[in-house]
Chains A and B, each alone.
Chain A
């Protein structure tokens, strides 16, 4: 639905160049909620602004719903009529809502319909429908200044949906809201995604947002996408930083002769009593150092850090058992521990989690 290839954006300021986007290839499938996460300055904002060409990329292409927007853009700074027409089918919501405070809520939602040349009656009818959809029909005559942050964002969403877009871009839509309101807005986005089949591309710096509604996610650092994939794929990727951030598990080995394993459960395997099976089958004592369970995109997903007695060599079989059960099992290296050598003996299993190499690993799809 949204594809960017080799997208770069370089800002020229007097005597130096700042590269905000450094060859971004993004692929958002139709009907999914895709989250791009990263710290401020990572280039997320430039990325989402390049998707509807509010910012002109320095090079690369943007295709939305099969239409190459970069080709429509023309050369000048002004948006061509074709680009403007394409933008009417891409909704966008903003961190600071960007509502016109001189217009009522209803008139704000009517604004895009005015641009689309709807008749007065049609506009009002449609705007009322949209306000109903976001649960604000009673606020039609109010001014934005009289609304709470969450209500303002609902108006922003209603406005973004006015042109019947196939794609919704969300630029930190929940970052100015409190946690509770954030949840209700995310729920609304999720509902819209499911009811209208709307494809949502959102950028955020909050991992919770990704966890709550995203089907897929990408991690941005210094203008590049360093990891991307569906949440399931990310969790299944050894050493994935996003997976680690989504499901942080802590805990260190209690002694030198212990093996620490991170186990990732998803879907079917989450409901199986694997740990007790493991314990019974191999007659070993297992301690749980840390665990995180959650529902992501309607699926039960969890990570657990467990400790097995004995060195890695003694635990090859139990770890194999975990893998047979369809679980992801990664051995956690103790950085200071004497087990460094085991990595060379079993390279398929050992993932040094904190090395920089792991941070830049692309997910193999």
Chain B
């Protein structure tokens, strides 16, 4: 394959990958953030201590995390079809990607929130703050740098997952690498796709790191 033949395929692949990854990341954050917060709040000694809820969420999250993504992908086909109407194409892939990443992200959020100094929670309680106030004004803002770093990690995991999605009818760079690189034995195409994935991952990591550093620097300059 020549460069001019490759270019439209690669461009389309990149667009599809980013489309899948970014949308599923959005769904993951929307779903994983509350789950992570609930895991902390309902834990023993938490503000909303509730052993049953905590155990149920914990078990679901653990099952989600222990399934290999490729299995989850196939197992979710009926669910995906029910939600999107098809299980093929980038839009359909958002469903299994998000379902796979939510438990992962929820655990990262849980860890980030556990690191928040309990004294701050007490301070807001002593001001008469309610639990939603504590979550909104203390737990989330204080854990923000760690959560953003968790989002970066999740985005990168999603890129990995999205490449796998290529095997089950998703589009994107992974699918391109399989059909054009692997099945047609085009090593050059394969290498270019891999390089492109590396570049995307690096860019995301760098942006994430800068964001974390900017957030963490608030208030910690000179002391």
Contacts and interface: CB of A to CB of B under 8 A. Distances in A.
B144 interface: yes
Interface string A6-43: 00000000000000000000000000000000000000
A111 B142 CA distance: 14
B123 A115 contact: no
B2 interface: no
A88 B215 CA distance: 30
B112 to A, nearest CB: 13
A143 B219 contact: yes
| Chain A interface extent, by class | 35 or more
B122 A100 contact: no
Given A94-B122, A100-B141, A115 B129 contact: yes
Contact of A145 (B48, B119, B130, B219): B219
B55 interface: no
Interface string B103-144: 000000000000001011011111111110100011001101
B218 to A, nearest CB: 6
B134 to A, nearest CB: 10
Contacts of A103: 141, 219
Nearest to A114: B137
B36 to A, nearest CB: 18
Contacts of B48: 77-78
A98 B117 contact: yes
A85 interface: yes
A91 B128 CA distance: 10
Interface in A133-148: 143-146
A86 B138 CA distance: 21
Interface in A103-155: 103-104, 111-112, 114-116, 143-146
Contacts of A99: 123
A96 interface: yes
A116 to B, nearest CB: 8
Given A87-B128, A111-B124, A101 B47 contact: no
B138 A100 contact: yes
Contacts of A87: 125-128
Contacts of A78: 47-48, 131
Contacts of A200: none
Interface in B138-159: 138, 141-142, 144
Contacts of A144: 219
A103 B144 CA distance: 12
Contacts of A116: 128
Interface in B144-194: 144
B221 interface: yes
A104 to B, nearest CB: 8
Given A87-B127, A115-B127, A143 B119 contact: no
A98 B221 contact: no
B1 interface: no
A79 interface: yes
A77 B49 contact: yes
Nearest to B123: A98
B221 A146 contact: yes
A336 B172 CA distance: 94
Nearest to A162: B127
B142 A88 contact: no
A91 B141 CA distance: 23
7 contacts: A88-B128, A100-B138, A101-B220, A145-B221, A146-B222, A146-B223, A159-B123
Interface of A: 52, 54, 77-79, 81, 84-88, 90-92, 94, 96, 98-104, 111-112, 114-116, 143-146, 159, 162-163, 169
Given A84-B130, A101-B220, A159-B127, 13 more contacts: A77-B47, A78-B131, A85-B128, A90-B126, A92-B123, A94-B119, A96-B117, A100-B141, A101-B218, A101-B219, A102-B141, A102-B144, A111-B127
